[in-house]
Amino acid sequence: MNALNDKSSSAIVAVSDISRSRQFYSDVLGLELSEDGMEGVLVYRTGATHLVVYPSQFAGTNKANAVVWDCGNDLDAIAAKLRDKGVAFQRYEMEGVSYRDGIHNAGGFKMVWFKDPDGNLLHLNSA
């Protein structure tokens, strides 16, 4: 059957400066670049999926989450590494949610938000 639920999907993020974004996604986030041959398009392996980073004049115009990573119990350690690399976390006020060291905690479900150099909103959670 030709159904989308049988197909893999990838997140895709528009950026304005592919060199700057390559440094951020490769060096700061530590993602493994798996392909970079298509006209400045970068493809990173992220678990069983891919993150595609491509140049666009519309970079950073999305005001919602662009990418989410389910980090499970590794969220605290991943957030600490990002903090050590100078990543600035976003803080959101939500009822019943505490905030400490960049991590929002909603009764054990943890969430982190930060932006890439173009302002694309990236999200980690403990799922």
The DSSP annotation for 66-115 comes to EEEEE-GGGHHHHHHHHHHTTPPBP----TT-EEETTEEEETTEEEEEEE
Provide, rounded to the nearest whole percent, the portion of the chain with pLDDT above 70: 98
- Containing H/E element for 45? strand 41-46
The overall average pLDDT reported for the chain is: 94
Which of 3-7, 74-78, 80-84 has the lowest average pLDDT? 3-7
Mean pLDDT of 99-108: 97
For residue 1, pLDDT beyond 70: no
* pLDDT tens string 12-63: 999 999 999 999 999 999 999 998 877 889 999 999 999 999 999 999 999 9
Burial of 116 (0-12, 13-18, 19+ CB in 10 A): buried
d(CA 5, CA 118): 31
Domains located in the chain, CATH noted: 4-125 (3.10.180.10)
Numbers of helices and strands, H then E, in the chain:
2, 9
